[in-house]
Structure 1
């Protein structure tokens, strides 16, 4: 009878430890699921932001393409830039450079 009681006590202890371990793992998994759901929400927000940026860039590229094709516009370059100096008499600016003169 003593051996049987000892055996059942041992089985009961193992069962209790198993229950505690299972609950601990369950809590850990719940925390991990919650963390991953938060990350999924962040990624979804980033995805939506990136879609908006892509749409904006596509719109800007379309406007740029239309400006180049329909209006014959080109990108400026330093050799085509006219620098206007301020202040000075209409006949000439200080230093000998006339207004609107290319440098």
Structure 2
């Protein structure tokens, strides 16, 4: 009976140590999961911010403003336009004073 008690005591101690180890690992996994969730939320916020920034950068008005101010570009006008025929030779633009006839 004494040996049986010792065997059960050892099994009980092993079971208790196993339980403590399992709980510790469970807590470690929970903490890691929470960190990953926080990182995912942060990345989602960054993604949304970048999407808004990209939408702002591709706005036509912004592109037009940069073209005019930073690059010094002007809108196309009929007096500065070259028309090309089939042989790709430049043809002067039609003049507005002669009724629009070439």
TM bin, normalised by shorter chain, reads: 0.5 to 0.7
Query: What displacement does 1:34 show?
Result: 0.9
Distance 1:24 1:53 in 2: 43
Structure 2 length as normaliser, TM-score? 0.61
RMSD of equivalent CA atoms: 2.5
Give ranges in structure 2 of 5+ residues lacking alignment: 73-102
Aligned residues: 71
Distance in 2, matches of 1:67 and 1:42, equals 32
Structure 1 residues 46, 4: closer, same or farther in 2, change over 3 A?
same
Alignment CA distance shift 1:31-1:65 (3 Å): same
Higher relative contact order by CA 8 Å / sep ≥ 6: 1 or 2?
A: 1
Aligned equivalents of 1:5 and 1:41: distance in 2? 54
5 Å-filtered alignment, 1:17-36, equals 17-36=17-36
